[in-house]
Amino acid sequence: MMFPLLFTSAVLQLPFLVSSLSEEECLLKKKETAYMSGDVSIIGFFPLSYVTAQRRPPEVERSTEEVRYFLCPLYSYNFNNYQFILALAFAVEEINKNPHLLPNITMGFSAHSHGIRYYMLYRGLVLSLSGKDFILNYDCKRESQTVVTLTRPAGQISSQYATVLDLYRFPQLNFGRFDPVLSDHRLFPSVYQIAPKDTSLAFAMVSLMVHFSWKWVGLLISEDENGLWMLPQLRQEMNNYKICTAFEHILPLSFFRERTDYVSFHQKIRNSFTNVVVIYGDNEFMFNLLNTYFTRSLSLGFVWVINSLSTFLSVMKYFLLHSLHAPLIFSHHHGEISGFNNFIKTANPSKYPKDYFLALLWIRSFNCTFSESSCVTWKNCPANASLEWLPRYLFDMGMMEESYYIYNAVYAVAHALHEMLIGQAEAQPVGNGRKLQFSPSQLHPFLKNIHFNNPAGDQVILDETKKMVAEYDIVNLCNFPEGLRQVMKVGNFSPYAPHGHQLSLSNDNIEWPISFTESPQSVCSESCGPGFRKSPQEGKSVCCFDCIPCPENEISNGTDLEQCVRCPDHQYANTEKNLCLLKSESFLDSRDPLGMTLVCLALCLSALTTAVIGIFTKHNNTPIVKANNRALSYILLISLNCCFLCSLLFIGHPNTATCVLQQTTFGVVFTVAVSTVLAKTVTVVLAFSVTSSGRRMRWLLVSGMPNFIIPICTLIQLILSGIWLGTSPPFVDTDAHSEHGHIIILCNKGSATAFYCVLGYLGSLALASFTVAFLARNLPDTFNEAKFLTFSMLVFCSVWVTFLPVYHSTKGKTMVAVEVFSILASSAGLLGCIFVPKCYIMLLRPDRNSLHGIRGKTHAERNNAF
């Protein structure tokens, strides 16, 4: 009866055919070992089988011998690991052919598959050492003497072996990855590890993450001592480079037996939104993980980062059948052993008839059968059948790292034996029927001091204090030809290279999962580009953040910056907030439209004032000029002209001189103007009060007392200005913050108190003038200008009351423009309200500028009043 198993690959694998009882009987007669005789023997325990769930057929009696064989289904053996036995055989044959190493002594070996269950483990170990089942302390074998045991760390198996073997100080050489647990010689004094230290593996994996800018990575770690040793190293290295864990699962082997865990486990990984998963564990862990979880999650296109090539090869068929995943694998770098590949090509059951595993592989791979009369010869085999014919996922022709360490282990044993036998004077030569006799424990001193170069030129050191740190080849699957993927080296990592150059990678040779069109990214949040900064999301990992724009005048010119940088005062941030630009100087320039407008306005008003002075000069002896105190009118016109012209001090590039003159000149000339208005108003009041107040009022008017108002008020303003200049004078200052992209050159007032004292004094004069003029607004006479003075001071006060809030609400050159406009507006108000009506009469109504006109107008007004 045939049980077919089809693989979608270039090579069609035929199932195991129980074509006749002859194959079963021949295999049952063979021991499940691979054996080669010699004077000294090495026992090796190799992971050739794995756990499977298989029910016994009800029609088969459990007591029959056939049950044991029938319950080993096709996929219960991992024939990729059969290369370990071939590496052992190759090394032994090389040493036996070497006349300079162990002359007159032959080496042999006995290779076993360690049991699936622990009691099978102990049974195989005891049987191999004693020759009988469970008879300790007796050596029932006679063919050769066992000297060492070869094992590979796999969960608790190596430590279980070590516990038993150490009772007899029996040397145990581990050919797997360096195990920090077994390096404790207080617990395992008889264990020696061949592989270099893996202390740089965590840094190598993180270097790969940094190379591809992966910031959001999941971790699947085996819950054993090795996994718990590696996990904190991964955490530390990831923290050093600000790489976050999307999820972190520490899985025991028992996890894979609980079906209820799959759903929640799958959901957590999917919800993590990561594209990269680091898997760290031994073969058993990897097989259980990918055999159970992976087949249920083929829709997930992850980049798997795996810690061992041989671990991956045991489950390579999943990656062959489903190309959604692209593992990157860290394999120990090692030299090439010449002749090993040809040795594999020529290996066949006829050459090694005592190799049970090779016979089983031949039956399952090539549909061979034993001849009916003999269990040694074969029939129905393809001509020149070779392991080279098998697809790589079933058997890899390349030398795996464990095979390389087995090769080194055998040479280490040979060198130790050689040194021991040379050093023993009482050692008897082997031959002539005499048997080599010594205790395996005698090898310990020699194994500890082993230090030699193997045929590939690499150093072999068993002393852990002198061991080198491992270098790694980074390998990837290449789907060429289509459907038959090959392992391809895409880079390497050397801890001995200069910092920053340890990792060397060829991105173009990497084949990514089909869900990615380019190098995959794995981040919790998209990177914040220039002009933005990271803002952590509350309650989440630091790798999860929002991107917010930089504040005003701050920039970020990199990616994923946590803080924006403020531009220096002489620079400003561009609109993209990624570059500081040099600020240009800004001031109220006469070449700017605003400055040019104010200059033209000031000059026009000054010209107008000059024209008014000319008109008054031409009509100097007319009644309207005489009636309004010619001297005060000329003083007022000249001061107004100075007010218009002093505004020009505020326009242009400020310097120390202009800054000092701006405020002092403005304060003095406006004081003269306002005090002149006050003097004119007082004169009007006194003139109309002479008839009713008697001699005192006449004396005040005749003595010219109103004329003293101007120098007294001006003197007070000069004293205030002098105090201002003596204590804290104005100076040239810069304002780099009020106007974006510009440095405003302006005049700092120096003492703000002095400035407001000057303004306050000026305001009090204006208020006094307005009050006096307002009270005299209804006095009779044609040329009574009290009404005009009242209205002019109302305009003046309105302008400066409005000026204060507007002045403080503006910045930069606009603030200067507001002050200039206030100077011009208030001065123009005085000019227009006081002198325009008089000019109108002088120029357009000369008939009213006469005594007759004055009298007629006066009588008419009085009659109307009555």
Tens digit of pLDDT for each residue in 466-495?
A: 888 999 999 887 665 554 557 788 999 999
The number of helices, as runs of H, and strands, as runs of E, in the chain is 26, 27
Residue 176, pLDDT above cutoff 90: no
The pLDDT score that the predictor gives to residue 303 is: 85
Residue 846, pLDDT above cutoff 70: yes
Confidence at 3, pLDDT banded by 50, 70, 90: very low
Residue 117, pLDDT above cutoff 50: no
Beta bridge partners of 174: 151, 193
Largest Cα–Cα separation, the chain: 170
Tens digit of pLDDT for each residue in 340-366?
A: 999 999 998 888 888 888 888 888 888
Confidence at 416, pLDDT banded by 50, 70, 90: very high
- Give the other-Cβ count within 10 Å of 248's Cβ: 15
d(CA 425, CA 422): 7
Tens digit of pLDDT for each residue in 647-675?
A: 898 888 888 888 888 888 888 898 888 88
Write the CB contacts of 743 (distance below 8 Å, at least 6 apart in sequence).
569, 570, 583, 584, 585, 586, 734, 735, 736
Tens digit of pLDDT for each residue in 700-716?
A: 555 556 678 888 888 98
Q: Which fold has domain 21-197+336-465?
A: Rossmann fold (3.40.50)
- Give the other-Cβ count within 10 Å of 170's Cβ: 23
- Give the other-Cβ count within 10 Å of 45's Cβ: 25
Token pair, residue 353, equals 């008839």
Does domain 593-865 bear CATH number 1.20.1070.10?
A: yes
Sequence spans of domains, the chain: 21-197+336-465, 532-582, 593-865
Tens digit of pLDDT for each residue in 57-95?
A: 444 444 444 444 334 444 467 778 889 999 999 999 999
Q: How far is CA 290 from CA 5, 48, 192, 476, in A?
A: 19, 18, 31, 17
d(CA 411, CA 418): 10
Amino acid making up residue 297:
S
Whether 273 contacts 524, CB under 8 Å: yes
What are all long-range contacts of 11-19, with beta carbons under 8 Å and residues at least 24 apart? 11/389, 11/390, 11/391, 11/394, 13/364, 13/365, 13/391, 13/394, 14/364, 14/365, 14/367, 15/74, 15/364, 16/74, 16/363, 16/364, 17/363, 17/367, 17/369, 19/369
User: What element of type H or E holds 474?
Assistant: strand 472-478
Residue 563, pLDDT above cutoff 50: yes
Tens digit of pLDDT for each residue in 261-273?
A: 666 777 777 788 8
The pLDDT score that the predictor gives to residue 851 is: 61
